[in-house]
Structure formats: structure tokens, C-alpha cells
Amino acid sequence: MFAAKLDDKGRLKLPVEFQRYLASLPDKKFFVTSLDRRIALVYPDTLWRENEKFFQAYKVDPKKASRVAFTANELGADSDIDQQGRLQFSTELRRELKIENQTVRLQAYKGHIRVMGEAMYTKLRAEAEEKPEQDVSDLEQEGLV
């Protein structure tokens, strides 16, 4: 987890480690959105295009896929990393997640970056502290090394 800050213009200053990681990717464009209206997500463009294909092809519950895709497109926007290592977040996304001009926490996860405000970070941390020994033990039995 890394702390970072969204400035008053909605730009997220990325920690150096994230700047290096994103600079190493073939994608130089990103899609910044939320799927659940709780956590912001920064996707390399190629990975986001895979999600769009998934939404279109999902047959188990097409309405569910349509709702999630709607949210992603309503709150999302394309973004580039500027010369100072910042990514722009849309006004709609910042307001929905209540992260305007706030400190946020960043987590690399499954090829994208999760961005959460302090309230969401605190909630997830409390959940992670509920039964850590049992969680680890269960996952080790399933193959976690």
C-alpha cells in the first residue's frame, strides 16, 4: 500500500514505484474508473479493452454486466501520465468516491491499480483484521505458499 494525494484539479501524483511500473508497460494510455462506486481503478488501456469484451460476451446475467459497464463508463475517463507522474481522475469519479483533494491509498492488484479513500481503506483494513490467522490457514490449504 502506498499513500498518495489527489490535488485540487483531480490529478493523482503517483509514487515513483508506480510510475516505473506503468512506464514499463507497452500501454501509455489508461482508463480510470470504478466498477462498484467504492474503489477507483486505473487500468492499462489493453486490460480495460479486455473487460469491455467480457461485458459484451457475458451471458450468465447480461443485465449485471450491463449495469457494471454503465457505472464504469459513467465514472470513467481515459488518462495519460503527465510529465510530473500524475493521472487525471474525472470529476464524476472524484465526487462519487469522495476523494477530491484527499489522501488516497494505492494497491497494485491483478494488473491494475486500486485507489481507495481513507474511509474505504479503514473499512477494508478492519475486515482484514477480523480473522487473519483463519484466512491464511484456509488459503494455505488451497495452495497459497
Residue 75 lies in a domain: yes
Of 74, 77, 71, 69, which is closest to residue 11 (Cα–Cα)?
A: 77
Residue 108 belongs to domain spanning: 2-118
Where residue 21 falls among pLDDT bands split at 50, 70, 90? confident
127 in a structural domain? no
What pLDDT does 25 receive? 87
Say how many Å lie between the first and final Cα of the chain, rounded. 21
Ranges 21-25, 102-106, 128-132: which has the least confidence:
21-25
Pick from 137, 48, 33, 43: nearest CA to 93? 33
- Whether residue 50 lies inside any domain: the answer is yes
Domains identified in the chain, total number: 1
CATH of the domain at 8: 3.40.1550.20
Is the residue at 130 inside a domain? no
pLDDT digits (tens, 9 = 90+) for 52-89: 999 999 999 999 999 999 999 999 999 999 999 999 99
The predicted model gives 27-45 an average pLDDT of: 97
Residue 22 domain-assigned?
yes
pLDDT digits (tens, 9 = 90+) for 79-120: 999 999 999 999 999 999 999 988 999 999 999 999 999 999
Q: What was the pLDDT predicted at 2? A: 94
What sections of the chain are H helices per DSSP?
A: 16-24, 45-57, 62-75, 91-97, 118-128, 132-141
pLDDT value at residue 13: 94
Nearest to 108 by CA among 13, 49, 41, 30: 41
Q: What are phi and psi of 87, to 5 degrees?
A: -115, 140
C-alpha cell at 12: 493523482
